[in-house]
Chains A and B, each alone.
Chain A
C-alpha cells in the first residue's frame, strides 16, 4: 500500500486558515487522495478527495501538487469544532487505510 506522511500535530487559532500537509511520494497513477477526520469518540468523517485537480467543497479545499507526491488540506476558517485528527489516505480500490494522522488543535 502506498504510504502517507503527516505531521503528528498542528495548532491553529480560531477563525484563521489551516493548511494540513500530506506527503505521498509513492502514489500511483490511479490512487485517489482522500481526507477524513475523526472527532473524539466518533467514526471517521469524509472531508474531501481528489485525483489530480484541486477540489473545493463546503468543508474544505484540497490542493494537489503537480507531481501528486503531496497534497494539502485547507480549512479556510478554523473553528473549535474542527479540532480533530485529520487523516490523509490513498485508495486505488475500495479500501481506506489510516495511519499517522495530524491532530489539529484549535485555540479560541
Chain B
C-alpha cells in the first residue's frame, strides 16, 4: 500500500538560509500534519491541513509556513534557518479523522 512520501530525505542548509520540505500524503487522505522532532525529543506538532485549509496550529515558529496544494501535497517552508531548527521533520496523513500514518521523515541539518 502507498505510504506518506517525504522529500528530500536529507537536507543540509546554512544558517539564515531557506528550506522547503515536501509531503505527498496517502492517496485520498484529506488531512496532512507536520511534526518536528529534535534530537532526543518527542515529536512536536507544528500544523495541519484539512481539505487544503489550515485546521490546527501547534508550536510552529513564525519563520515557518506551510500550505496544502490542490493535489493534496503539502510543503513546509522554513526561512531564516537557525541551528536549533536541525531536526527530523515528519509529515503524516489521515482520512476522515481516522488513523494517522507517518512518513519516514526529512532530516534537516543547519550548519
Q: Is the CB of B50 within 8 A of A94?
A: yes
Chain B residues with a Cβ closer than 8 Å to the other chain, count: 25
Which residues of chain B (72-111) have a CB below 8 Å from chain A? 88, 90, 92, 94, 97, 99-105
With a cutoff of 8 Å between Cβ atoms, the chain A residues found around residue B105 in the complex are 41-43
Q: Which 8 A-B pairs have the closest CB atoms?
A: A43-B102, A98-B42, A94-B97, A98-B43, A44-B102, A46-B99, A43-B90, A95-B56
Known: A44-B43, A98-B42, A98-B43. A93 touches B97 (CB 8 A): yes
Residues of B within 8 A of A (CB): 4, 31, 33, 35, 42-45, 48, 50, 55-56, 58, 88, 90, 92, 94, 97, 99-105
Known interface pairs A43-B104, A95-B45; 12 further A-B residue pairs with C-beta atoms within 8 A, sorted by A's residue number: A38-B43, A43-B90, A43-B105, A46-B99, A46-B100, A93-B56, A94-B97, A95-B33, A97-B45, A98-B42, A98-B43, A98-B44
With a cutoff of 8 Å between Cβ atoms, the chain A residues found around residue B55 in the complex are 94
How far is A98 from B38 in the complex, measured between Cα atoms in Å?
Answer: 13
Interface of A is mostly: loop
- Measured CB to CB, the closest approach of chain B to A41, in angstroms, equals 8
Which residues of chain A (38-71) have a CB below 8 Å from chain B? 38, 41-46, 49
